[in-house]
A = this chain, B = another copy of it.
Amino acid sequence: MKHVNLYEANDFSEGSFKRLLVHDSPYMKVLNFNFKAGQELPVHSHDIEGEVSLTVIEGEGEFLGKDGSTVPARAGDVVISQIAEPHGLRARTDLRLLVIIAPPI
């Protein structure tokens, strides 16, 4: 059993969002991205099978989708996207995001 507290294990950086690899196995990849207000994970996609879940632990912003679409992002929001489907996030306040990818890439 692996145990990580996201508030203790990762902080923020001025340059761009700060990435923490929490777990990587044959079953899933678990990451934590911390965004300072204004930082973003640009819309992207990978042409492979699988899904990615994005969970907002705290903060506010917008999920980014294809063709410039946006969906509000706030604490407790869970988005599930195909890895091949365009997805991203822009933070309006400091924001902590949990990212789980299966199968791992």
Contacts and interface: CB of A to CB of B under 8 A. Distances in A.
Dominant SS among interface residues on chain A? strand
A3 B79 contact: yes
Contacts of A98: 55, 78, 98
Category for how many chain A residues contact B: 35 or more
Nearest to A85: B1
Interface in A91-105: 96, 98, 100, 102-103
15 contacts: A1-B63, A1-B65, A2-B80, A3-B79, A6-B76, A6-B78, A27-B50, A27-B103, A28-B28, A28-B102, A30-B80, A32-B78, A53-B100, A55-B57, A100-B100
